[in-house]
A and B are shown apart, each in its own frame.
Chain A
């Protein structure tokens, strides 16, 4: 049975753990020969620490990083809680990759608008890294990213230094309210997107964040005349198997773990709004 059992994890080792915000840490993990499997941006993996159990997380690193996988994880439950407590050298279980990933081929030749909120940057970061690694394939890149407070912005060195320095790209940061140490934009992500008035011509928007933010970002993009086919998001649901069988992430005739988690707004409009 062994490898043929899709529920059977392999082990990887924690290389290091970085504290990003008060409740987000980034784990870097690797197997004996670097990444335990190939994947595409937007795909996920099941991480497990027995006896606490398994949970699904988006892969944060870009597929171009061959020596390790990165996961930026917000502490919200049992598994994320125990992952936060791990130390370098500790082994954990991993299986995957799961899901369809972002449509990186369809996005070729287009200007890209990435809109993230809070920990929602985790799956987007893999995609942003992929696009920068294949820079000539894509047009102008805009990144709008926000969080509740400056302390809640993740991947500070990338959003503050690495990404703005990339050719033909712009990073817009915002926080929800005024803070003494913040001189940048203040306001919610959806209204910042409206304010920046991105044009829909030859542009694909990809958004990920808390459900309430996604809801208003989709409305903002609709007002800016983005076609539903050109608006892409990624869903988060409870999952146990990751292979379209256990039933938790069933949405109409699709399973989010297998047929998603990435959907265009046009596809979501055809599915029951139960996510």
Chain B
């Protein structure tokens, strides 16, 4: 049964949940909306579709220290850094949750699992928010995603005129709603839930594209497609299904830490080897790698294109070399 949280009680809920552990929700700052830690006074924006950068950093932080080292003379001491807090991820949209499912396949289901990611996934209660009004750049329908339903969430939420309707989907979700119970209206008579949200399709038709691309690594289309790319990497930064990372040390000889951070296949040094050889020496190989990974390599292993139609690369790419343009250039368009 759905329970109503009246608008005027939202801040009380944020405060209550933030007391339990880190609470991430969409926070508006100037022209950007990012999933950030709630604190008194932040401007929470539940209407925003979509956040400027995907909420993947709740599970795969931009930087994450995982070991501290100290070195005295010949002795090296390595100590792992643990983080074990219960996290609440609030108001994640169905496309972004689908993207998390895609990263799960690589980080949880492939042996060995990524321990840092796994811990965060296990410790997080996810409240999904159904989309009421999609953005002009949204095209999740192309990939069969229902913008009003998020099967992987612990709690499903719906925006209404009066507030937020909440419905538990898992045991974790039940616990969360029990904590919030004093703030919820018992009788939720709201039926004003939009269930028929239409997104763009930009004339795309992606069926059969992954199989088609398997033979097109040397296709002449790659000789031109990359030309406008600036190599800025913003596409990978905002993308909810990009997960490449770097590992670096920070410190001095006596002590410091090792961390991992987001990296991008759009950068030249990404594959640059110590001896000077680079298997992806120019933007051509790097642009091809990014789109082939999303549209061909990932589907070859997992059966689905690694794009959820969130529209972030359409909004962010300074030269409009986004995934819609790439799919079109590769022939993934409706005929007629």
Contacts and interface: CB of A to CB of B under 8 A. Distances in A.
A221 B258 CA distance: 44
- Chain B's interface: helix, strand, loop or mixed, by majority? mixed
Contacts of A238: 270-274
A245 B285 CA distance: 20
A8 B256 CA distance: 15
B76 A50 contact: yes
B193 interface: no
A240 B289 contact: no
B277 A248 contact: no
A238 B263 CA distance: 13
A80 B273 CA distance: 12
Contacts of A92: 76
B247 A51 contact: no
Interface residues of A, number: 47
Interface stretch (B47-55, B104-112, B227-235): B104-112
A1 B115 contact: yes
Contacts, number: 138
A247 B258 contact: no
Contact of A50 (B244, B251, B285, B300): B251
B246 A240 contact: yes
Most chain A CB within 10 A, of B115, B246, B252, B285, is at B115
A7 B274 contact: no
Given A1-B119, A8-B67, A247 B252 contact: no
Nearest to A247: B244
Given A55-B274, A211-B277, A250-B297, A1 B80 contact: yes
A7 B107 CA distance: 13
Given A250-B293, A250-B297, 10 more contacts: A1-B116, A11-B76, A13-B74, A48-B258, A50-B258, A51-B252, A53-B247, A54-B249, A240-B247, A245-B114
Interface of B: 66-67, 69, 71, 74-78, 80, 82, 106-107, 110, 112, 114-116, 119, 217, 243-253, 256, 258, 260, 263, 265, 270-277, 279-280, 285, 289, 292-293, 297, 300-301
**When A and B form their complex, which 8 residue pairs have the shortest distance between CB atoms, in order from nearest?**
A77-B274, A247-B244, A91-B76, A5-B115, A51-B249, A253-B300, A76-B275, A76-B274
Interface of A: 1-2, 4-11, 13, 48, 50-55, 74, 76-80, 89-93, 211, 236-238, 240-241, 243-248, 250, 252-253, 272, 274-275
